Amino acid sequence: MADPLHQFVVTKTIPLAIGGVDISFTNASAWMLIVSGAAAVLLWLGLRKPQLVPGRAQSAVEMLYEVVDETIVSSAGPEARKFFPLIFTVFMFILFANVAGLLPYSYTVTSQIVVTFTIAFIAFIGITLVGIANQGFGFLRMFAPPGVPVAMYLILTPIEIVSYFIRPISLSVRLFANMMAGHVLLKVLAGFVVTLGIFGAIPLLVVVGMTALEALVAVLQAYVFTVLVCVYLNDALHAHH
Amino acid sequence: MDAQAAKYIGAGLACAALLGAGIGIGNIFGSYLSAALRNPAAAASQRTNLLLGFALTEATGLFGLLIALLILFG
């Protein structure tokens, strides 16, 4: 059976190194460009000639816009709307990367922890800065929620601090593990189709079903990432509890 | 016992995380169904929360799988 992890290998398309730093153009960077390009083309097509009664492309763009807008307003409040461009960009990039990964012979950009961690870490640093700018030292109250006995703070504050700093890790590992596990599972099942001969029809049916589930997971994980960024933004914008 | 055998045992043990994920996902969908059958009018409004909870729970099982892969290939 072929190695199910082979699909995640990064290969150098154009080897390039400046000052000993490897900045080669790889298959991963190519797919990142394709994914961002596809998202940009969809938005451009939809908004080229905006009409009162939207066409197909414009409806798609409006639906994506409304989903993100509704998520931001419902989980972080209307004043979080000024961060809409950033959150919409993150959502579109992850959504397109996840869905493009389902195409045969494609490369799933979000199955690399370095990609998801970079996005999550930028969001985490940005949200922390927004919280400090918004609440000043009051932002530290987040680590000491009110309404508990004083002795409890000895236990509660370390837990709150750890749970705050674990956020970029859990955010990135969730997306990366979902993408990687799904693709490995599909590969392993596809291997059974060949090795089982005539009985391979059974795993083939399972693969078809799993592909449908993976399509759901791909969209869902992009949405979950967006929702959690909005929830964290809510902590930064509004005083805790 | 050589190190390779211990690695495989450890990777198998790490997959025990799937136990919790299975219970969690079953619980989410079970609770949703029982609540939806009591009040079908409100069921559609909670579907987003259902899928969100499913995705968050599923991820905890995948953390275990990740540890298994790290043990095997790390």
Is A178–B58 a contact, with Cβ atoms under 8 angstroms apart?
Answer: yes
Work out whether strand A17-18 and strand A21-22 pair parallel, antiparallel, or are unpaired: antiparallel
CB A27, CB A15: distance < 8 Å: no
- Which of B54, B59, B65 has the CB atom closest to A174's CB atom? B59
How many CB pairs below 8 Å do chains A and B form together?
A: 35
> CA of A48, closest CA in chain B: separation in Å?
31
- Work out the angle between the directed axes of helices A84-100 and A56-76 (0-180°, nearest 10): 120
Q: Quick one: pLDDT band at residue B73, thresholds 50, 70, 90?
A: confident
Vertex B67, ends A125 and B19: CA angle to 5°?
110
Q: What is the pLDDT of residue A110?
A: 92
pLDDT of B38-70, one tens digit each? 999 988 888 878 888 888 888 888 888 888 888
Chain B within 8 Å of A172 (Cβ-Cβ)? no
Residue B11 parent element (H or E): helix B3-14
Contacts of A116 (CB under 8 A, 6+ apart): A110, A171, A172, A173, A175, A176
ipTM confidence: 0.74
Cβ B56–A224 below 8 Å, yes or no? yes
Contact between A230 and A76 under an 8 Å Cβ cutoff? The reply is yes
Blockwise average pLDDT, block size 10, chain A, 241 residues: 76 81 86 94 89 87 93 89 93 94 89 93 94 86 83 88 90 90 88 85 91 92 92 84 51
Beta-strand (E) ranges in chain A? 12-14, 17-18, 21-22, 25-26
Which pLDDT value is given to residue A98? Answer: 94
- Show Cβ contacts of residue A152 under 8 Å, excluding neighbours closer than 6 positions: none
Both tokens of A27, joined, read 């298959």
Residues of A in contact with B52 (CB under 8 A): 223-224, 227
Q: Which residues of B touch A177 (CB under 8 A)?
A: 59, 62-63, 65-66
**Candidate from B51, B66, B73 with C-beta closest to A220:** B51
A219 and A101 Cβ atoms separated by less than 8 Å: no
Q: At what angle do helices B47-73 and A201-237 cross, to 10 degrees?
A: 110
Residue A59 has a pLDDT of 92
For residue A240, what pLDDT is reported? 59
Of B55, B65, B73, the CB nearest to A221: B55
Residue of chain B minimizing CA distance to A174: B59
Distance of CA A13 to the CA centre of its chain: 25
**Interatomic CA distance for residues A196 and A5, integer angstroms:** 21
